[in-house]
Amino acid sequence: MKSYLDLIKECDAFPYPGTPEHNTLISTLWTLTTTSPNHADPIPVGYLLEPLAKKLIEALTATESKNDPSNPPTGTPEFEINTSTRTIKAFTQPTESLRSAAVAKILRTWGDHQTFSVLSGWRNELYPIYGPNNELLFTMERSASPLFGINTYGVHMTCYTPISDHEKTTSGSAFDFKLWIPRRSRTKQTYGGMLDNTVAGGISSGENPFESIIREADEEASLPSELVRANIQPKRTVSYIHVRTAAAGGETGLIMPEIQYIYDLELPNDFIPKIKDGEVEAFYCWTVEETIGHLVRGAFKPNCALCLVDFFMRRGVLTRVEEGEGQWEVMERGCHRILPFAVWAASGESES
């Protein structure tokens, strides 16, 4: 069995500063930094594994050496490599669009040459990288984000529905609601067949969390926009640093700091979410206890397990007293980790 803390740690798997594990891992990683007109110092934006760092240095060097008379050097090097601090400063072009174009050019080459396995899942969808003043530094093809260890942003919504008195009696549940839980398509490359949150997705560049959840709610569960808008409850974000495992497909060990905008939604008793886009195999309507049984058996995708534990902590299914003060604090910390890179503050979000 997996404890709630085990589940959180499987998702928030990157070791914490001050531990020997952190020191060891950090000594093997490179940091990608960039610059912004508003900042004197380089801005760290991602953790790179050694193979990526090598390929990136190769690519940056090749681009530089190919500078021809029609595109004369500006005198400012566009990248700097520091092998003692294991830092690569790159994508320092003066505008966001130039920086994004430089990233895109390298990624297109890698994609064409099948340099990295994760790029075989090319999405044609851009993820944003933000700086400390909430400025967009550059964008990057979604499937490449784990390679660069950048912060990514998503939305997760848990839908629940009141349990009828009759159902409560026959099910023997101690709680007043049931949960709508989807199973991912078994043919999905990442976490195929695992359980998921009712609605979840990534936030693309230019999209805000609320628009994103409305769109995903329709695409993944056929939830009408009016119904969602009228009843959605925005909650505190969750954040963690995942370390990619084989279950996700592609390269393992990639560092994935993630921020999820969290929403709860109470659905009417007679409303049934429906499959729409083939990402979902089935929707189950489970009591809290049935959901916990699947959870502790490890049947949920890791970051969905973390969001569900957060939901249970917020909803009083788990309590500080029962879990124990110390355990609770560690669970809280793992669900709301302070990330090493600047975090976007999306506008128009507030906790209900």
Instruction: Please report how close the Cβ of residue 224 comes to a second copy at its closest, in angstroms.
Output: 24
Instruction: Please report how close the Cβ of residue 272 comes to a second copy at its closest, in angstroms.
Output: 12
What's the CA gap between 103 and 243, in Å, rounded?
Answer: 23
Contact flag: residue 184 with a second copy (CB under 8 A)? no
Among 288, 307, 308, 313, binds a second copy (CB under 8 A): 288
Q: Which is nearer to a second copy, 90 or 181 (CB)?
A: 181
Instruction: Please report how close the Cβ of residue 223 comes to a second copy at its closest, in angstroms.
Output: 20
Least Cα distance to 274 among 282, 265, 262 occurs for 282
Sorted by sequence, the CB contacts under 8 Å of residue 254 that are 6+ apart come out as: 49, 118, 146, 147, 149, 243, 244
Among 59, 287, 334, 342, binds a second copy (CB under 8 A): 287
One symbol per residue from 112 to 151: x for binding a second copy (CB under 8 A), - otherwise; what is it?
Answer: ----------------------------------------
Task: Write out the binding residues for a second copy, residues 194-233 only, by CB under 8 A.
Answer: 195
94-102, 200-208, 218-226, 282-290 -> range binding a second copy (CB under 8 A): 282-290
74-82, 88-96, 164-172, 255-263 -> range binding a second copy (CB under 8 A): 164-172
The enclosing H or E element of 11 equals: helix 4-11
Among 22, 108, 113, 297, binds a second copy (CB under 8 A): 297
Instruction: Please report how close the Cβ of residue 216 comes to a second copy at its closest, in angstroms.
Output: 22
AA letter at 244: R
AA letter at 170: T
Instruction: Please report how close the Cβ of residue 323 comes to a second copy at its closest, in angstroms.
Output: 7
**How many residues in the chain?**
352
List phi, psi (to 5°) of 149.
Answer: 60, 30
Among 279, 290, 332, 349, binds a second copy (CB under 8 A): 290
Distances (CA, A) of 23 to 18, 28, 132, 268: 7, 9, 25, 50
163-171, 225-233, 270-278, 300-308 -> range binding a second copy (CB under 8 A): 163-171
Instruction: Please report how close the Cβ of residue 286 comes to a second copy at its closest, in angstroms.
Output: 8
Pairing between β-strand 136-141 and β-strand 126-130 as defined by DSSP bridges = antiparallel
In the chain, the DSSP E strands lie at: 30-36, 39-48, 80-82, 87-89, 126-130, 136-141, 152-162, 177-184, 199-202, 233-243, 255-266, 280-287
Q: Which is nearer to a second copy, 136 or 292 (CB)?
A: 292
What is the CB-side half-sphere exposure of residue 156 using CA atoms within 13 A? 26
In the block, residue with structure tokens 């193979």? 51
Among 62, 247, 272, 282, binds a second copy (CB under 8 A): 282
DSSP assigned state of 297: T
8 Å CB contact between 150 and 130: no
Task: Write out the binding residues for a second copy, residues 308-347 only, by CB under 8 A.
Answer: 318, 322-323
Among 17, 77, 94, 293, binds a second copy (CB under 8 A): 293
Contact flag: residue 177 with a second copy (CB under 8 A)? no
| Binding interface with a second copy (CB under 8 A) | 1, 3-4, 169-172, 174, 181, 183, 195, 282, 284, 286-294, 296-297, 299, 318, 322-323
